[in-house]
Amino acid sequence: MAMTQCPSTSCQTDQHGMAILPVSSADVVHRILAVLNSLANEFARYLALRSQRRALMRLNSHQLADIGINRYDAEAEYRKSFKWF
């Protein structure tokens, strides 16, 4: 809930004297959708990064050397995809 100083004695306040403002159902739905959208974006970013790391593993040693890394570095980067396991 949004809190602000109570401008008059006729409004409802919490135990700290902060005004309790009504929250519409549209506000709640908007906040839920914003959280879901953020989660979906984060998951999409994770999938894209994982795809890039898998593509890195498909490169041969010569191709890896062209981009300045070795097989060990590529495997270390790939293992970052599974940091939750």
In a domain, 67, yes or no: yes
In a domain, 16, yes or no: no
* 23-33 pLDDT per residue, tens: 788 888 899 99
Q: How many domains does the chain have?
A: 1
pTM: 0.60
Q: Which residue has the higher pLDDT, 83 or 38?
A: 38
- Which residue segment(s) compose the domain that 28 sits in? 24-82
In a domain, 75, yes or no: yes
In a domain, 46, yes or no: yes
In a domain, 33, yes or no: yes
Mean pLDDT in residue range 8-30: 74
* 46-68 pLDDT per residue, tens: 999 999 999 999 999 999 999 99
Cα of first residue to Cα of last residue in the chain, in angstroms, is 37
In a domain, 58, yes or no: yes
In a domain, 13, yes or no: no
In a domain, 70, yes or no: yes
Report whether pLDDT(3) > 50. no
> Average pLDDT of the chain?
84
